[in-house]
Amino acid sequence: MENERLFRHGVVYQIYPRSFCDSNGDGIGDLPGIISKLDYLQNLGIKIIWLSPIYKSPLMDMGYDVADYYSIHPDYGTMEDFDRLLEEAKKRGIRIVMDLVVNHTSDEHEWFIRSKDKTSPYHDYYIWRKGRGEDGMEPPNNWTSQFTGPAWSYDPEVGEWYLHLFSKKQPDLNWHNPKVLEEVEAIIDFYMKKGVYGFRCDVINQIYKESLEDGIGNAASGRGSEHYLMKDGNHRILRQIHDDIFAKYPDSVMIGETFNVDLENGRRFLENQELDMFFHFDLMELDKAMFGAFHKKVNPEVWKKTAFKWQEGVSWNANYLENHDQLRSINRFGDPKRYWKESGKMLAMFNLCLRGTPFVYEGQEIGMLNLPMRDPAKSKDCVSWMVADILKKYPFPKWFKRRILNRIDRDHERAPMQWNDGVSAGFSTSKDTWIEVNENKSYINVEAEKADPDSILNFYRRLIAIHNESEALCTGEFIPLETKGSVIAWKRKSGDEELIVLLNFGKGKPKLPAFAKGKETLLSNYEGESKNGKLRPFEACLLKA
């Protein structure tokens, strides 16, 4: 039964609604635009779509700051459009997962506005405290926000401070208050009744603040996390939501975004039926350097060890290489210049052949790349603005600051989807898109790649088709194979079906391992077997064992 659940057999495609397809020419993607591309997704073999937030929001953090969970942001359409999306997706065998952002709301949410009245029951929906110091003008503790700066803001109207682990426009909800759980369960139930398949739960492993004591650790970001990351209360709440709501909807999925998760807590999330899967960040951390700017080259052996740790450590993984918070994976882990196609396909095979549910982020399937270096002032990303502010205090040369800002800017992965080589890459009829279209649309676009049998897109299509049909790839065991250097390999096995995944995670030409010789190839990113017993740069093969 457990093995039959849809998420164990389907690939998830993440849509960033603002950037996917604009139906009304305002330069912003919308729900009717998504509906118009459902055939494309069906054809790609997608079974589940995860939508980044579409709720009413001031969009300070692009929707991860919700002002009303029950209405759709007018930029994206109406609730009727959303219902139509559910219906049209269902007709094509596709289910919709929504984003549930409930660590915090927007400061423009009615709950927060009402909470400013100390006598209102809403006051206790958030974490309001008196300040320290004689005049109460110092924050209640030394925690820092994960978006830089203090985690508390003072409201003179209230005469108190409120906690925000992200920006000051994202006040944290108080999960000690049972009313908050009640409200969130009502939201979940509202969408489940509509036929939503489930939720991707934003920063869900930090909702329960166990204490508000001072934190230890680096002030730069997230100081205090030992008091709120994966506390017992957090586990309890998730299990409660499962019992109260999801037990009623066995055909559903709960996916957690769980920053800094460890194996012990990861197992607990799954074994205690709190979540069906969760995103760990360990692979995404491997190339990080100063200020979260990504610029170290990843060592393939460390990559392998990290990925295998999770494959062997928990019963199910949410596998991903890209999303709306991560730079494009070919820029980070492949070679966008010399081996764009090869490395794009190799990364696809890595992601889709691990055990767990594969997530593909819009544009990843055509090998979209980061934007070229640009003036940081153009950025639409609040994290960029905040880091730019901090950088002002440092005596770094201008070029260096610019480089850092360009590396952390989330606009790279949020730039419009490239459908064709026309105006705004076919994303919009307007030339004025909310983020500019990447100049490389001339060769990286759906239309061109559809026509090229050797394209990254057609590789994804074939790989997803194989994935969906193969019990070994969907639910089969993960068996690591011994390899050295840049070679990474593993087996997937279910009953008599046994497959070998063989990857060269680099530009070199390492030796073809003996276990791979003479095996039948199901899919590869090169033509024919290599002649000299060596793997080619970024070679990736799926073999019959």
Which active-site residues does the annotation give? 202, 257
- Does 516 participate in binding ligand NOJ (rule CB under 6 A)? no
- Does 359 participate in binding ligand NOJ (rule CB under 6 A)? no
Closer to ligand NOJ by CB, 61 or 274: give it: 61
- Does 202 participate in binding ligand NOJ (rule CB under 6 A)? yes
Least distance CB 61 / ligand NOJ (angstroms): 5
Write the interaction track for ligand NOJ spanning residues 309-328; mark x where CB under 6 A is met and - where it is not.
---------------xx---
Candidates 48, 72, 100, 203: give the one binding ligand NOJ (CB under 6 A).
203
- Does 172 participate in binding ligand NOJ (rule CB under 6 A)? no
Least distance CB 166 / ligand NOJ (angstroms): 5
Write the interaction track for ligand NOJ spanning residues 110-149; mark x where CB under 6 A is met and - where it is not.
----------------------------------------
Q: Which of residues 229-288 bind ligand NOJ (CB under 6 A)?
A: 257
Q: State how far the Cα of 9 lies from the Cα of 7, in Å rounded to an integer.
A: 5
Candidates 22, 61, 322, 335: give the one binding ligand NOJ (CB under 6 A).
61
Mode of pairing for the β-strands spanning 357-361 and 160-163: unpaired
- Does 16 participate in binding ligand NOJ (rule CB under 6 A)? no
Closer to ligand NOJ by CB, 170 or 252: give it: 170
C-beta separation of 77 from 26 below 8 A = no
CA-angle at 239, arms to 233 and 243, nearest 5°:
140
- Does 166 participate in binding ligand NOJ (rule CB under 6 A)? yes
User: Quick one: which of 63, 181, 170 has its CA closest to 107?
Assistant: 170
Q: State how far the Cα of 194 lies from the Cα of 309, in Å rounded to an integer.
A: 38
User: Quick one: which of 80, 66, 478, 120 has its CA closest to 313?
Assistant: 478
Least distance CB 139 / ligand NOJ (angstroms): 20
Q: State how far the Cα of 206 lies from the Cα of 463, in Å rounded to an integer.
A: 35
Closer to ligand NOJ by CB, 64 or 76: give it: 64
Least distance CB 381 / ligand NOJ (angstroms): 9
Closer to ligand NOJ by CB, 149 or 513: give it: 149
User: In this structure, is the dihedral angle defined by the CA atoms of residues 320, 379, 424 and 25, taken in order, positive or negative?
Assistant: positive
Closer to ligand NOJ by CB, 22 or 202: give it: 202
Q: State how far the Cα of 70 lies from the Cα of 109, in Å rounded to an integer.
A: 11
Least distance CB 506 / ligand NOJ (angstroms): 29
What pairs with residue 357 in β-bridges?
Answer: 318
Closer to ligand NOJ by CB, 185 or 325: give it: 325
Q: Which residue in the shown chain puts its C-beta closest to ligand NOJ?
A: 64
Burial 106-115 (b: 16+ CB within 10 A, else e): bbbbebbeeb
Q: Can you read off the two tokens belonging to residue 520?
A: 């039948």
End-to-end CA distance of the chain: 27
Q: State how far the Cα of 481 lies from the Cα of 465, in Å rounded to an integer.
A: 25
CA-angle at 295, arms to 261 and 203, nearest 5°:
25
Rounded to 5 degrees, φ, ψ at 238 are -65, -40
Residues in the chain: 545
- Does 67 participate in binding ligand NOJ (rule CB under 6 A)? no
Candidates 85, 101, 187, 348: give the one binding ligand NOJ (CB under 6 A).
101
- Does 13 participate in binding ligand NOJ (rule CB under 6 A)? no
The amino acid at residue 214 is D
Rounded to 5 degrees, φ, ψ at 133 are 85, 165
Closer to ligand NOJ by CB, 57 or 524: give it: 57
Q: Can you read off the two tokens belonging to residue 450?
A: 């559809």
> Three-class SS of residue 35?
helix
Least distance CB 101 / ligand NOJ (angstroms): 6
Least distance CB 383 / ligand NOJ (angstroms): 7
3-state secondary structure 345-366: HHHHHHHHHCCCEEEEECCHHH
- Does 64 participate in binding ligand NOJ (rule CB under 6 A)? yes
- Does 365 participate in binding ligand NOJ (rule CB under 6 A)? no
Residues that bind ligand NOJ (CB under 6 A): 61, 64, 101, 166, 202-203, 257, 324-325
